[in-house]
Structure 1
């Protein structure tokens, strides 16, 4: 059963999804049994199991967020992913949504550009 924080994070993700309501290529999806957003079948953001939003960004952008302390690295197995970062929830829901919204929009642009160029 989901706790209150999980429900809050899902609500924030749903609010992010509303930003793409007019884009038929964007849909809610799952990654590693977690809800997320995809464009053209490619995931660009999803909820982590510890209350963070995980996004795919260009390596330099991801590195900058890591260096600033804004994001945490994402490790799968023994491998740290170069283009995926985790953005933890902030002190308030408003701050969290603002951070997640910016990162999701950047991730969307990046992943959408990758799928369109292939």
Structure 2
């Protein structure tokens, strides 16, 4: 699988939003994607030009059913609780929820 080019500007925007909610999130990479972590747990990041968010499984499934998100499936395998959001600015609530969820706040 060829990895997309990741939108660094989008990642910076996500960092600002997420770190307002959970200042201890740190930068790193997951599957080569720019990602914010809480401890060793990935919280959110960028996959191509989409926000990649970790949420409680039931919330993620509801977002998929509502059409507000796409499944995150690197290499063709869906990752439970992970979703891709096409317009993170319009879905800032989800970015904040993801940051709080992984930070445990």
TM tier relative to shorter chain: 0.7 to 0.9
1:34-113 matched pairs, under 5 angstroms: 34-49=33-48, 51-89=49-87, 96-99=88-91, 101-113=92-104
| 1:64-98 CA distance string (max 9 Å, x none) | 10011110011133421221000013xxxxxx324
Once the two structures are TM-superposed, the CA of residue 13 in structure 1 deviates from its matched residue by 2.4
Unaligned runs of 5+ in 2: none
* Structure holding more strand per residue: 1
Report if the CA contact (8 A) 1:17-1:27 is conserved.
no
Report if the CA contact (8 A) 2:7-2:46 is conserved.
no
Once the two structures are TM-superposed, the CA of residue 105 in structure 1 deviates from its matched residue by 2.0
Report if the CA contact (8 A) 1:13-1:36 is conserved.
no
* Greater relative CO, 1 or 2 (CA 8 Å, sep 6+): 2
Cα RMSD for the two superposed structures: 2.5
Could you state the TM-score of these two structures normalised by the residue count of structure 2?
0.77
